[in-house]
């Protein structure tokens, strides 16, 4: 394997993160439409969204075992194709039962692809001997922005099924092209134990902060468009712009995150970023104007964008003899928050209101700011 192969693999993994974000962002405009089609209240719909989390939780440890047997390159390719196919399920589901089943299958593909992409990203970092995880996660944010904006436009112009078909076809073409340039399967076959493990005492604190950070991201993903549509009575394509602009802020933050961390340090960056996320989200939930709310979501995205990548980096450096295991431990707790957040918001909204329930994400951001000093390990180069 040459350095040229490693560079090609970096861009291939970046393309995987990008298309993953495009698919998730393109799903956002369909969320309020699915809630209305199924005539579900917030608690019931929040429970239905738990199917996505359940699928991912089932798939993640299974994906780890399959990576050990077949390698992360092959698993990244297969799970990406499955995500493109299962993307249609929740969009076409006519009943709550079929929506839950389809959501479970889509969640399995999301969770397994997440594990495989991050595992191969770790392998690429080792091959290059350069940090690349922020770029990968920046690609995901950029994809989420593209997916939300393009999805909203195609939904307005052509309707639900044509929008889904065009998005899936584009991402499938990207997937089939990029998977040809990944590193050989042999780079991590038999090494899944060094990549993924239960959190240790050293990483559990960062993992809990990552749980909160990705809980915020997951909650905005699933509920921001619904909140915009219900509060401001706007079209679903307009409501999806809240998540699109949120992802825009996250993409800018992540593509500049490595430079900012070198300038101000991880602790100060996470502290300020978490306060920005709290302030931006609070304004978005409180203001009576949809335009101001969308602008506030941009500010919140600029804040939350850098938190998770820094936590991943800190996890890797807390276990210098097994950085992949440290990153994976933090990632496991983090994605648990990403998947558990939306159902929690749904139940809270049933008891109060959706804007009040989303206020839990403001509290989560303030907790991250309060414990920002825990990320100082990320600066141990």
For residue 280, is it within any domain?
yes
- Tell me: the pLDDT tens digits for 260-291? 887 898 899 999 999 999 999 999 999 999 99
Torsion of CA 126, 129, 132, 133, to 10 degrees: 40
- Tell me: the pLDDT tens digits for 66-83? 887 888 899 999 999 999
For residue 186, is it within any domain?
no
Taking the CA atoms of 246, 248, 250 and 252 in sequence, report the sign of the dihedral they define.
Answer: negative
Residue 76 in contact with residue 16, Cβ under 8 Å? yes
For residue 317, is it within any domain?
yes
Torsion of CA 257, 84, 61, 345, to 10 degrees: 70
Q: Which domain holds residue 150?
A: 3-180+191-379
Number of domains observed in the structure of the chain:
1
For residue 255, is it within any domain?
yes
Residues 6+ apart with CB under 8 A from 348: 356, 357, 360
**Band of residue 198 on the pLDDT scale cut at 50, 70, 90:** low
Q: What is the pLDDT of residue 1?
A: 59
For residue 185, is it within any domain?
no
Name the pTM for this structure. Answer: 0.77
Residue 88 exposed, middle or buried by CB count within 10 Å (0-12, 13-18, 19+)? middle
Q: What is the pLDDT of residue 326?
A: 59
For residue 125, is it within any domain?
yes
Residue 163 in contact with residue 52, Cβ under 8 Å? no
For residue 342, is it within any domain?
yes
For residue 222, is it within any domain?
yes
Residue 72 in contact with residue 17, Cβ under 8 Å? no
pLDDT above 70 (res 183): yes
Task: List the CATH number of the domain containing 174.
Answer: 1.20.1250.20
Number of helices followed by number of strands (H, E) in the chain: 17, 0
Average pLDDT, the chain: 86
């Amino acid at each position: 394997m040459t350095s040229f192969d490693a560079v090609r693999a970096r861009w291939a993994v970046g393309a995987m993160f990008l298309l993953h974000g495009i698919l998730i962002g393109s799903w956002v405009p369909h969320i309020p439409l699915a809630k209305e089609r199924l005539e579900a209240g917030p608690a019931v719909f929040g429970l239905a969204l738990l199917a996505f989390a359940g699928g991912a939780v089932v798939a993640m440890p299974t994906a780890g075992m399959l990576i050990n047997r077949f390698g992360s390159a092959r698993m990244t390719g297969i799970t990406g194709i499955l995500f493109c196919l299962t993307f249609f399920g929740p969009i076409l589901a006519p009943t709550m039962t079929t929506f839950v089943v389809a959501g479970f299958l889509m969640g399995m593909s999301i969770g397994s692809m997440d594990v495989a992409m991050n595992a191969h990203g770790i392998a690429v970092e080792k091959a290059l001997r350069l940090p690349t995880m922020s770029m990968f996660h920046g690609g995901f944010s950029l994809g989420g922005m593209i997916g939300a904006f393009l999805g909203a436009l195609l939904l307005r112009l052509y309707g639900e099924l044509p929008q889904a078909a065009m998005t899936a076809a584009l991402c499938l073409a990207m997937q089939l092209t990029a998977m040809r340039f990944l590193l050989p399967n042999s780079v991590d076959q038999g090494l899944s134990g060094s990549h993924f493990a239960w959190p240790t005492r050293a990483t559990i604190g960062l993992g809990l902060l990552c749980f909160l950070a990705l809980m915020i991201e997951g909650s905005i993903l699933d509920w921001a468009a619904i909140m915009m549509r219900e509060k401001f009575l706007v079209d679903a394509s307009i409501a999806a712009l809240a998540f699109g602009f949120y992802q825009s802020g996250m993409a800018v933050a992540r593509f500049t995150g490595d430079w900012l961390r070198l300038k101000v340090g991880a602790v100060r960056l996470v502290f300020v970023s978490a306060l920005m996320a709290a302030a931006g989200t609070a304004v978005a939930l409180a203001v009576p104007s949809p335009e101001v709310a969308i602008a506030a979501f941009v500010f919140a995205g600029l804040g939350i964008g850098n938190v998770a990548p820094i936590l991943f980096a800190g996890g890797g450096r807390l276990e210098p003899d097994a950085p992949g295991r440290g990153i994976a431990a933090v990632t496991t707790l983090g994605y648990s928050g990403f998947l558990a957040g939306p159902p929690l918001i749904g139940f809270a909204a049933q008891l109060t209101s959706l804007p009040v329930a989303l206020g839990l994400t403001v509290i989560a951001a303030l907790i991250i700011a309060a414990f920002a000093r825990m990320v100082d390990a990320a600066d141990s180069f």
